[in-house]
Amino acid sequence: MERELILDENVVNLLPWGAVVKEVISYGTAAWTSASRINVALLNGERKSFFLKRAKGNQGKEMIEGEYRSMMEIYSSMPDLVPRPIGCGKIKRASLDTYFFLMDFINLSCEMAEPGDFCRLIAQLHQNSTSPTGKFGFFQTTYHGPNPQNTAWESNWCVYFTRLLTQFYDREIAQNGSQPEYEAAYQKLVSDVVPQLLEPLQSDGRVLRPCLIHGDLWEENTGINLDTALPVVFDASAMYAHNEMELGMWRADIIRFGKPFYHEYLRNMPPSEPSEQFDDRNRLYSIKFKIAHCLGWPHSAPSHRQQILSDMHYLIDKYS
């Protein structure tokens, strides 16, 4: 960590009135953003810390605004689950257009949460939240890593998920190149499998309630609040979705949320009906996250494409 000397006035204006900035400490640069810890002295003498994220350019603006709105939405439903969002805006004095998101700083342990506490809180987020439109989607574009997500409101979950998945697939093909077997399997997946797995959720009198999901929920975006000993989450790319989509990311080999986490989550929030298709829906949802990984880390795209292809073939063989 390195000390910084300058804090932009637009950030200072969001700090508590009368706060004196004591130090700004760089937390390094992540893949698409940079971060700092701001330590201040309040008027009453109390010391307090804030966390600042920054990103550059038009994409950075959308990323910052999407994350801020995501965290605000989670905070309004589960205020102890995320750092308190304070505001976002544009850095006034920067050579390149730079945007920021300011939130409370939380002293974190990077240890993984126990499945019981963690999954109870995630299920509670899904249960407590209500889509303001009654539809699937979000107020604005959010980003999964560097990838924008089309979150335009839609009442039909099958239509919404197909649109989102295809958005990621099209971008991945454009970035990483054509592969005939992969492309043929995807077309078969969308035409034959997706409707058979997702349309039943809203058929035969079933109602699928849109739930607020974090959208990028893996161990690197979670921690333990050392002051409360409770799990917290951050770096959200939220949307109102089928709650089970949240668990799709957990299926990937690189994610450490394994069977105990699935078990605890489903104990708090049982599978949607038809429940016998839960594992196949989970496999389908995992494909979106694996495609996102191909986009974010193109050097690993060939191996991840093989995993995606295996998942697609499994589902096609079963449902086509």
pLDDT, position 28: 64
Share the mean pLDDT of the chain: 95
pLDDT tier for residue 1 given thresholds of 50, 70 and 90: very low
pLDDT band at 30 (very low <50, low <70, confident <90, very high): low
Measure the CA dihedral 271/276/279/285, to 10°: -70
Q: Is the pLDDT of residue 160 over 80?
A: yes
For the record, the structure tokens of 197 come out as 């797995």
Q: pTM for the complete prediction?
A: 0.95
Q: Is the pLDDT of residue 139 over 50?
A: yes
Pick the CATH number of 2-105 from 3.40.50.720, 3.20.20.70, 3.30.200.20, 3.40.80.10: 3.30.200.20
Q: Do domains 2-105 and 115-319 have the same CATH topology?
A: no
If DSSP codes are grouped into helix, strand and coil, which group holds residue 131? Answer: coil
Q: What's the whole-number mean pLDDT along residues 279-302?
A: 96
Q: Residue 5 pLDDT > 80, yes or no?
A: no
Model confidence at 4, pLDDT cuts 50, 70, 90, reads low
pLDDT tens figures, 191-223 = 999 999 999 999 999 999 999 999 999 999 999
Mean pLDDT on 144-167: 98
301-319 and 157-176 helices, crossing angle to 10°: 140
Sequence spans of domains, the chain: 2-105, 115-319
Predicted local distance difference test score (pLDDT) of residue 27 = 82
Tell me what the mean pLDDT of segment 153-176 comes to: 99
Nearest to 218 by CA among 112, 101, 304: 112
pLDDT of amino acid 130: 97
What percentage of the chain reaches a pLDDT higher than 90? 90
pLDDT surpasses 80 at 79: yes
- CB 141 within 8 Å of CB 59: no
Residue 180's pLDDT is 98
For residues 156-173, give the mean pLDDT.
99
Please list the alpha-helical segments (H only) found in 235-276: 259-268
- State the average pLDDT over residues 63-91: 98
Task: Tell me which residue has tokens 């409360």.
Answer: 228
Q: What angle do CA 304, 308, 309 make, to 5 degrees?
A: 115
Residue 111 predicted with pLDDT over 90: no
Measured CA to CA, the distance from residue 208 to residue 18 in angstroms comes to: 48
Query: Domain 115-319 carries which CATH code?
Result: 3.90.1200.10
What's the average model confidence in pLDDT over 228-244? 97
pLDDT band at 110 (very low <50, low <70, confident <90, very high): confident
Q: How far apart are CA 290 and CA 254, in angstroms?
A: 10
Contacts of 185 (CB under 8 A, 6+ apart): 309, 312, 313, 316
**79 contacts 128 by C-beta, under 8 angstroms:** no
Residues 60 and 42 sit within 8 Å (Cβ to Cβ):
no
Average pLDDT, stretch 265-284?
98
> For residue 103, is pLDDT > 60?
yes
